[in-house]
Chains A and B, each alone.
Chain A
């Protein structure tokens, strides 16, 4: 089955600096890669996603890049703010046999220091 590795597990940055979180996946069938943000005690919420026919996608301070050949994708947050502090999860998804197969990474706890 699919395996998703996410690094680093924790990340501390100064406010205003950039943060980068990386994920690698194993199954080339995966073709959809969402990123979720989970604040303490809350539900995960989608912040950005990318499909396999696209190499990069941006939304204001957030961007995601995908390298299909190397099977890795990354989340980039620029000009970090204290409210960016949360746990971030990546996921790799594909459709097989009528079912959506979802595999999550283990999460990255981001701390933005004011």
Chain B
């Protein structure tokens, strides 16, 4: 299960607090992604990044922010502006060199906000 890691596995926060989810990869992949998964639902794209210092909004970016200061790291901050932040968050990476390749997923972080 090495290659892409997320921490922590479980995270509990009070409403109104910002929280940052960690994602690290040692696969030397250029592209990284954040997805949100709700119970019984598919994968919805929050943000993605092709290279360092560049990132793009996905389908549900409102209430989230990201940074890509290093190739290996793509942290996601869930802000207090996100109305329903409780979900399973998955980070993924891909080679990203002009030809589509599979995405490798991290183990996920389950965030609960009360």
A binding-site residues for B, Cβ under 8 Å:
31-32, 34, 36, 41-46, 49, 89, 93-95, 98-100, 102, 104-107, 109
Consensus secondary structure, chain B interface:
loop
B43 at the interface (CB under 8 A from A): yes
Rounded to whole Å, the gap between the CB of A29 and the closest CB of chain B is 10
Q: Which of B61-69, B70-78, B98-106 contacts A (4 or more CB under 8 A)?
A: B98-106
Known: A43-B90, A100-B50. A93 touches B42 (CB 8 A): no
Shortest beta-carbon contacts, A-B, top 5: A32-B100, A43-B105, A106-B42, A93-B100, A104-B43
B binding-site residues for A, Cβ under 8 Å:
31, 33, 40-43, 45, 48, 50, 56, 90, 94, 96, 98-108
- Inter-chain contact B42/A43, CB cutoff 8 Å: no
Candidate in B94, B100, B101, B103 with the most chain A CB atoms within 10 angstroms: B100
Chain A-chain B contacts (Cβ-Cβ < 8 Å), number:
54
Query: Which of A43, A95, A106, A109 sits near B100, CB closer than 8 Å?
Result: A95
Known: A98-B50, A104-B43, A107-B42. A46 touches B102 (CB 8 A): yes
Known: A99-B48, A104-B42, A107-B42. A43 touches B106 (CB 8 A): yes
Query: Which of B94, B105, B106, B107 sits near A100, CB closer than 8 Å?
Result: B94
- Inter-chain contact A89/B56, CB cutoff 8 Å: no
A94 neighbours in B (Cβ, 8 Å): 100
B94 neighbours in A (Cβ, 8 Å): 100
Known: A44-B43, A106-B41. A34 touches B96 (CB 8 A): no
B100 neighbours in A (Cβ, 8 Å): 31-32, 93-95, 100
Query: Which of B90, B103, B108 sits near A102, CB closer than 8 Å?
Result: B103
